[in-house]
Structure 1
Amino acid sequence: MPAPAHPAAHAGDETRTWTGDPLDHPDPDRVGDAAATEALLRCWVRERGVPGPPADRPLRLPMPATGVTLEVPVRYWSQAGWHRFGPPRLADAAGPELDAVTVAALLGREADGANAAARTDTAARVADSARRAADHVRHRRAHPDDPPGTTPFLAAEQALLLGHPTHPTPKSRDGLTTAEAAAYAPELRGSFPLHWFAVHQDLVTHDSTTGKTAAAIAAELSDGLVGPEDHVLVPVHPWQARDLAHRPGIRALLDVALIRDLGPFGPPWHPTSSVRTVYRTGAPVMLKLSLGLRITNSRRENLRKELLRGVEVDRLLCAGLAAELHDAHPDFDIVRDVAWLAVDAPRTSGPERAESGLELVFRDNPFDGDDVACVAGLVAERPGMGPSRLAALVHTLAKRTGRATASVAEEWFTRYLAVVADPILWLDAHAGIALEAHQQNTLVVLDPDGWPAGGRFRDNQGYYFRNSRTADLQQRLLGAGGGSDTLVPDDVADERLAYYLGVNNLLGLVGAFGAQRLADEDTLLRRLHATLAAHAPRVRAARLLTGEPTLRCKGNLMTRLHGLDELVGPVATQSVYVDIPNPLHAHRMSGGAVPA
């Protein structure tokens, strides 16, 4: 269905006088900057515990390091953290609106522990993220319709035009040119053929939980490409292929023909929301490719422990856990990482990295037939192009059933909790496995009317095996959690499950319903409290979410300002965590009843 006309598409007046929603501004560059500014301010408010201002008053943020105060119009204040802001200015001054880079510089000066290099780098990444978001909006406004053959799964993967609402640089992609983005960015609906190398079999390590080797799966995906005898075909992201040619270890193997560059070949694959995981309609698997781009905070190259973790979880599930999960929650499943393949190359960049940059994961692809979408794609704004898909679903259901929008939204959320939150909490209690179930890792299956009918989890980085359940896990699968570095202290598992499922996913969904004017957050919070309280006797993360006045929350802005790479180092210290007020605690203390 074509998108509605932009509200100012035919306006000939000066758009600087725009008074509507900043995300609906007719100038995509202004939209990108507004989105970046809002994300920065949400991060600051959350990570500093800033209370909301009195009704109809602007938010005032003192910046003592520079001796100024920011004054920010509040369009919507969210209990769950999805605030909406207007353009900030310096308080008590008649100056212009402040752009995102200026705001980033001011906030960076206030951050304890942030050095000058990290502050400068953050501001540069904010600028890059804002520019790319503007490009996404510009492209999508010019081409609003999904191309023929786009599945619901792919449409949701391509929907995150602005990115994570509480990340300071959600669309920064260091090293990706504008021309490359046209092919490799999901938001621009890019697609490309895979680049292929033939690697001597003695250099290839692989594993599979299927009846086929990883090398055989790769060969089947090559569409008839033939390599030299005793070589294995290895698919690579085109960007990575060009970068690898300049790495000494790979270059040495290319020079002696132990690796042969076969070039691009085959039909196009589509980048998903992670950029590096690619999808093709009808293919039996998706490919999670190594990609040395720094996307948000980290270079996205597969680590060996992550390769091991994916097939280890599949083996745990095949050993009986999947049947137990299905018996308890038949509408929930985990997307399997069924195989992996890696190339061993001389270590020339330091002894700490065993990876060559030629590592990939084969992920099951069960999504061609169902209407399934990552939650982040459902709630994503469509700036100037109409409501999010979540809002469109709720409004359509309300019209079809003759019910109030808020009533439909509450039922939609309640069904979501049953098919997503309940099984994830059950898995932790039953098996000692906590999932990093943030909105981009969580998929919801929709029935023909648009109601949540099932849930899925994906991500071989996102498993935490509890130390206290090591013996149980070993009984299920000998050696579980060892080489994959998946065993963690219970308090780490509690913190991560409470943050990723509780704060990012569930409170994030509450905030989206509220900010998009679909439901009253207070009603949804009481519904969420009741669901979590039912699990609290057996799941410590649920007790934290319902019983503590504060919650541990990943501080995305502080993580960025401290220059941390979230994929490097011990799990417990990869990110900065802060305490935030718990909106669910007030509901427990107030004793408010949950609507029937």
Structure 2
Amino acid sequence: MHRPPAAEAEAADELAVVRPSLVPRYTDALPGARAAVLTRLWRGLAHDPLPWVVRRETRCDGLGLRLADGRWLRGPRADPYATAAYVTAVRLDGVVHDDPARLMTELAVPHSEVFAAELAHSVASLALSRAGRRDHAPEWPARDWEWERRVVDGHPFHPNCRSRPGFSVAEQLAYGPEHGPVVELGLLSVPEDGCLVSGVWPGWLREAERVVVPVHPWQAAHVLKRTGGERLPAHPLMALRTLALPEGPHVKTALSARLTSSVRDISLGSVAASAALSDFGEAVAARTDGLLHVTRTLGAVAAGSPDLAAVLRESPEVYAASGERVVPVAALATTGLPRSPAWSSRFARLALTVGLRLLELGVALEAHGQNLLVVLSPDGDPVRLVYRDLADLRIGPARLARHGVPLPDGLPARMVTDDERTLRRKLFGSLVAGALAGTAGSGPALRAALEGAVRDLPRTPDLAALLDGPLPAKALTLMRLSPRTSGDQWAELPNPLRYGAP
């Protein structure tokens, strides 16, 4: 009988107090949540360049990992593009493990203790999300934020897909979009002369010589230690810290908590560059012949610290014509559209056409399933793309110069590079190994979608790199086990176009 780890038991105890009716559903959801997180972890163990995995052996009965200490870890063959939870247990030197946190504890590699705690939290939070999910109507939602609440399982490939350390069960129920809450943002008034403001901060968020900053209630309670005052109701989106105002723009708030991999503050550099970056995004999107729109940043403010900052961004809904819907790529599985090879190829062709065209210009999108949205016709055909949140672009000055596009002033240094590998990794890792793979759901399905998509694309050096080499993907497990290494680390996945399903 499975003895629940502390995180699972603690969540059950708190749930019994704040929402006792959900306890049976939470308990029933735990085995599936463990398998979902274990599947994501097994992907990382199988494919990330982990220094303590010295050999990988694929046999007819599965995959074996030889560890540096001589032990063997064995499990099923790992499809790096699978989104279904197909790993229910693995064996470490013959001992069966069905719990990802316990497995990571037993591996006893550097930094595994902290990562094990994150995995346990991911399992408990995922079970809570599945327990609290709402059945959605077959009709498509009318509002963009309604699509976002349908994404229950979080990141399709990250072992910390639902890790929300620092959030109590009550706070997850109150702030997680999958639970359908209305979040009351705080409104904190600060002196304007102490603020960094970029773009146009609206009059309704101003007072005499003061700026009013929307603040997430978790941030107000845990970081700023400020509660009370006026409230602004909003609907949380997948990013948790970004919320849709009922009849207005989206507001991105500072949230100094580690969600999945990163602490979600808003850097002063990103605030300073937001207006210029927004204008730049519009200008390069205009070169896609109407296939891409970029949501404009309306204004940004930081009150002297990344902990107290906010960004106002227009809603992607403004780019939908009558009868169309703008759907985050991560939510495509909830549309009810058939996963036919023909539809998947049309979507992949659209996404690759846009991504490769911008890459040729010198702009590499972080086009994962949260940032990238697709405009669907009333019949469900993918017709255009919308991209939001420009903060993680990579921009190549040499490529821009070749096309006569000026480099915006004041960009953060991390965004600017002429390294071809870095630019291609940014796009291919997020779009192909992320958004397209997550939509396809498996290696064979991704191969079919890409085969139909690339036939008519111009044979550029960037496309050749995509077709001929391994597929880059962020080494998400390695990154969580390397807390002292800054920046992205990368895995090389088998290219589905060259090798087929793993």
TM over 0.5: yes
Q: Secondary structure at the match of 2:431?
A: helix
- Asked whether 1:372 is paired with 2:326, we answer yes
| Aligned counterpart in structure 1 of residue 337 of structure 2, from 389, 393, 399 | 393
Separation in structure 1 between the aligned mates of residue 70 and residue 178 of structure 2, nearest angstrom: 37
Tell me if the contact between 1:544 and 1:551 (Cα under 8 Å) persists in the aligned partners.
no
Aligned counterparts of 1:68 and 1:79: Cα–Cα separation in 2: 20
Provide TM-score, normalisation by structure 1. 0.71
Deviation (angstroms), 1:244: 3.7
CA displacement 1:253-301 (0-9 Å, x = unmatched): xxxxxxxx68353452111111111112321x10111101111121100
Size of the aligned set, in residue pairs, is 466
In structure 2, relative to structure 1, the CA distance for the partners of 1:546 and 1:150 (3 Å cut) is: closer
* Equivalent position amino acid for 2:331 in 1: G
CA distance in structure 2 between the aligned counterparts of 1:217 and 1:471, rounded to whole angstroms? 40
| 1:302 CA displacement | 0.5
Q: Does 1:577 align with 2:490?
A: yes
Q: Does 1:547 align with 2:471?
A: no
Deviations 1:175-225 (A, max 9, x none): 1111111111112222212101111121122121xxxx3152534xxxxxx
CA drift of 1:454 comes to: 1.6
Shift of 1:479: 4.3
Find out whether 1:281 has 2:231 as its counterpart: no
Q: Distance in 1 between matches of 2:278 and 2:413?
A: 13
Change (3 A) 1:135 1:479: closer
Where does residue 37 of structure 1 map in the other structure?
38
8 A Cα contact 1:162 1:171, kept in partner: yes
Q: Contact (CA 8 Å) 1:173, 1:294: kept in 2 or not?
A: yes
Task: Name the CA distance, whole Å, in 2 between partners of 1:85 and 1:483.
Answer: 41
Summarize the Cα distance change of 1:71–1:416 in structure 2 as closer, same or farther, 3 Å threshold: closer
Compared CA separation, residues 277 and 144, structure 1 to 2 (3 A) = same
For residues 356 and 272 of structure 2, what CA distance do their matches in structure 1 show? Answer: 24
Provide the secondary structure at the position in 1 that maps to 2:391.
coil
Alignment correspondent of 2:21: none
Does the 8 A contact of 1:277 with 1:287 survive in 2? Answer: yes
**Among candidates 281, 295, 307, match of residue 271 of structure 2:** 307
1:70 equivalent in structure 2: 74
Structure 2 equivalent of residue 480 of structure 1: 409
Match of 1:243 in 2: 222
Deviation at 1:428, TM superposition (A): 1.9
The residue correspondences of 1:156-555 to structure 2 (distance < 5 A) are 156-208=147-199, 213-216=200-203, 218-219=205-206, 229-246=208-225, 263-283=228-248, 285-317=249-281, 320-325=283-288, 328=289, 330-344=290-304, 355-367=305-317, 370-379=324-333, 389=334, 392-394=336-338, 409-429=340-360, 431-469=361-399, 471=401, 476-477=405-406, 479-480=408-409, 482-483=411-412, 485-491=414-420, 492-510=422-440, 512=441, 514=442, 520-530=445-455, 534-537=457-460, 539-540=461-462, 542-548=463-469, 550-555=470-475
Return the offset for 1:85.
Answer: 2.3
Quick one: distance in 2 between partners of 1:425 and 1:419? 10
Q: What is the identity, as a one-letter code, of the residue corresponding to 1:195?
A: G
Q: Which residue of 1 aligns with 2:101?
A: 101
Q: Between Structure 1 and Structure 2, whose CA radius of gyration is higher?
A: 1
Q: Partner residue of 1:249?
A: none
| CA contact 1:375–1:440 (8 Å) conserved in 2 | yes
Question: Given the superposition, is the C-alpha separation of residues 81 and 144 from structure 1 closer, same or farther in structure 2, using an over 3 Å criterion?
Answer: closer
SS of 1:281's partner is coil
- TM-superposition CA deviations, 1:456-494 (whole Å, max 9, x none): 111122211103135468x64564364565211332112
Shift of 1:122: 0.2
Distance 1:304 1:472 in 2: 31
Looking at structure 1, the residues matched to 345 and 261 of structure 2 have their Cα atoms a distance apart, in angstroms, of 34
Q: Secondary structure at the match of 1:503?
A: helix
User: For residues 347 and 57 of structure 2, what CA distance do their matches in structure 1 show?
Assistant: 30
The TM-score with structure 2 as length reference comes to: 0.83
Residues 305 and 483 in structure 1, CA contact (< 8 A), matched pair in contact too: yes
- Alpha-carbon distance between aligned partners in 1 of 2:329 and 2:139, rounded to the nearest angstrom: 23
Q: Distance in 2 between matches of 1:175 and 1:147?
A: 35
Please tell me whether the aligned partners of residues 502 and 545 of structure 1 are also in contact (alpha carbons under 8 angstroms).
no
Give the unaligned 5+ runs of structure 2. 1-24, 50-54
C-alpha distance in structure 2 between counterparts of 1:238 and 1:508, whole Å:
31
Partners of 1:337 and 1:460 within 8 A in 2: no
Q: CA deviation at 1:25?
A: 11
Amino acid at match of 2:466: L
363-372 or 432-441, which deviates more: 363-372
Tell me the residue number matched to 1:562: 482
Q: Provide the aligned C-alpha RMSD in A.
A: 3.1
Which segment drifts farther, 494-503 or 273-282? 494-503
